Amino acid sequence: DGGITQSPKYLFRKEGQNVTLSCEQNLNHDAMYWYRQDPGQGLRLIYYSQIVNDFQKGDIAEGYSVSREKKESFPLTVTSAQKNPTAFYLCASSSYSPSSTEAFFGQGTRLTVV
């Protein structure tokens, strides 16, 4: 089945530790995205990547880092510099072919930092 896989679904970490969230897609999409969602709020863009080995900061990149070494993978690291890391994190991918420009989302990772 084609799609986006985020793992794990739930993640617990102690304060001060870095943590990496996984996002893999087999849709052959060029663009990938990371979003953060807090309770009762909309999605806020953290980072996005148009192509392998290239990525741009979104609206709330501070305290996060990403890499895009492979087309299929776009891991997000939540660093200890992120002041409020507890949130729901969503990954998405998108193609830019003329016939298909919508974004597809994973099911999310709920990160809790204690």
Partner 1 sequence: DAKTTQPPSMDCAEGRAANLPCNHSTISGNEYVYWYRQIHSQGPQYIIHGLKNNETNEMASLIITEDRKSSTLILPHATLRDTAVYYCIVRGFNDYKLSFGAGTTVTVRA
C-alpha distances (whole Å) from 39 to each of 19, 53, 63, 93 are 21, 32, 19, 23
Nearest CB to partner 1, comparing residues 82 and 109? 109
Among 19, 24, 29, 33, binds partner 1 (CB under 8 A): 33
Cβ(94)–Cβ(103) under 8 Å?
A: yes
What residues does 12 pair with on adjacent strands?
Answer: 112
The least distance separating partner 1 from the CB of residue 45, rounded to whole angstroms, comes to 5
Residues of this chain that bind partner 1 (CB under 8 A): 4, 31, 33, 35, 41-45, 48, 50, 56, 58-59, 88, 90, 92, 94, 96, 101-108
